[in-house]
C-alpha cells in the first residue's frame, strides 16, 4: 500500500483483507500520509486474523525518528506493539526498491519537507504517484511514459502559494502529465471545495489524454 493517511485503512478494509498486505510504503512524513499506521497497528495486534510475519513498512530517510517521536507520545505498550507487528525500514530514494514482485523507483519532490514521488512497475505496466509536490521536472522525469500518473491537485484555480511552494493545481498536474507523455492522469489530494467538474475542466484545457478525478472506493484497470 502506498501511503496510509487518515481514513485510508477504513477504506482498505472495505475492499481487501488487511492481513494480506504485502508492504506499506510512505512517501513522506506528514501525518495525512502515514497516520493510519496507528489503526493498522491495532488491527494487526488485536484483530481476529494474525499475520505469521511482521508487515514491512518502508519509510523515507529520517522517517524512523519521526515515527518514534509520534509513538513516544503514546503509552509504552503502543510503541512496543509497533515493533511487534511492523518491520520498519528506511528506503534509499536513489536506488530501486523491490517490493512483492514489483520495482519501485523514487524522485524527490518540491514540498515543505523531504518527500518522494514513486514509480511502480510490474509486468510491463507502470504507475507514477506524485506524492505532495509543486510542479517539478524531477517528478516529470520519473513519470515519463507511465500508463497512469496519479498526481496531487491540492490548489484551486484561485489559490497561489506564497514563498516556498509545496503543492500543485489540477492545471499544473495536467501540464506535468502532458510533458511526461503519460496515458492517463488521475487527480487526487484535492479539497472538498474543489468539484470533480472544476478539476476535470482545468486539466482538460491542457492534457489531451484520459483524465480521472479520484474518489474513495474507485478502482482502475491497468489493462485498459
Q: How many CB atoms lie within 10 A of CB 97?
A: 17
The per-residue pLDDT for 80 is: 66
CATH superfamily of 1-91: Ribonuclease Z/Hydroxyacylglutathione hydrolase-like (3.60.15.10)
Query: What does the domain layout of the chain look like in residue ranges?
Result: 1-91, 96-224
- Give CA separation, 166 vs 98, 133, 139, 155, 196, in Å: 28, 5, 13, 10, 22
Given 1.10.10.10, 3.90.1300.10, 3.60.15.10, 3.30.499.10, which CATH number is that of 96-224? 3.60.15.10
Task: Please state the length of the chain.
Answer: 224
CA 100 to chain centre: 17
The per-residue pLDDT for 104 is: 98
Q: Are strands 116-122 and 102-108 parallel, antiparallel or unpaired?
A: antiparallel
The helix (run of H) or strand (run of E) holding residue 166 is none
- Which residue numbers in the chain have pLDDT < 70? 77-80
CA distance 80 to 32: 23
The region, left, alpha or beta by phi > 0 then psi within -120 to 50, assigned to residue 131 is left
The per-residue pLDDT for 51 is: 80
The per-residue pLDDT for 188 is: 98
- Give CA separation, 5 vs 40, 46, 159, 171, in Å: 11, 21, 24, 24
Condensed to tens digits (0 to 9), the pLDDT of residues 162-204 reads 778 999 999 999 999 999 999 999 999 999 999 999 999 999 9
Angle at the Cα of 66 (from 61 to 69), degrees rounded to 5?
A: 155
The per-residue pLDDT for 148 is: 98
The helix (run of H) or strand (run of E) holding residue 220 is none
The per-residue pLDDT for 79 is: 58
CA distance 158 to 143: 27
The helix (run of H) or strand (run of E) holding residue 205 is none
The per-residue pLDDT for 163 is: 78
CA distance 166 to 172: 12
CA distance 189 to 191: 7
Amino acid at each position: 500500500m502506498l501511503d496510509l493517511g487518515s481514513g485510508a485503512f477504513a477504506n482498505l478494509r472495505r475492499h481487501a483483507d488487511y492481513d494480506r498486505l504485502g508492504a506499506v510504503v510512505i512517501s513522506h512524513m506528514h501525518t495525512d500520509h502515514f497516520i493510519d499506521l496507528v489503526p493498522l497497528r491495532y488491527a494487526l495486534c488485536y484483530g481476529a486474523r494474525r499475520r505469521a510475519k511482521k508487515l514491512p513498512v518502508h519509510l523515507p530517510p529520517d522517517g524512523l525518528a519521526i515515527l518514534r517521536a509520534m509513538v513516544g507520545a503514546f503509552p509504552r505498550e503502543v510503541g512496543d506493539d509497533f515493533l511487534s507487528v511492523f518491520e520498519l525500514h528506511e528506503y534509499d530514494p536513489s536506488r530501486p526498491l523491490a517490493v512483492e514482485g514489483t520495482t519501485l523507483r523514487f524522485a524527490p519532490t518540491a514540498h515543505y519537507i523531504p518527500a518522494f514521488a514513486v514509480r511502480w512497475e510490474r509486468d510491463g505496466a507502470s504507475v507514477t504517484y506524485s506524492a505532495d509536490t509543486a510542479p517539478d521536472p524531477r517528478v516529470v522525469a520519473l513519470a515519463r511514459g507511465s500508463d497512469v500518473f496519479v498526481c496531487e491537485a491540492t490548489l484551486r484555480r484561485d489559490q497561489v502559494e506564497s514563498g516556498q511552494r509545496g503543492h500543485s493545481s489540477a492545471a499544473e498536474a495536467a501540464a506535468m502529465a502532458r510533458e511526461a507523455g503519460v496515458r492517463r492522469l488521475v487527480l487526487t489530494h484535492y479539497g472538498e471545495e474543489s468539484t470533480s467538474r472544476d478539476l476535470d475542466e482545468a486539466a482538460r484545457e491542457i492534457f489531451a489524454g484520459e483524465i480521472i478525478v479520484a474518489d474513495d472506493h474507485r478502482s482502475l484497470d491497468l489493462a485498459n
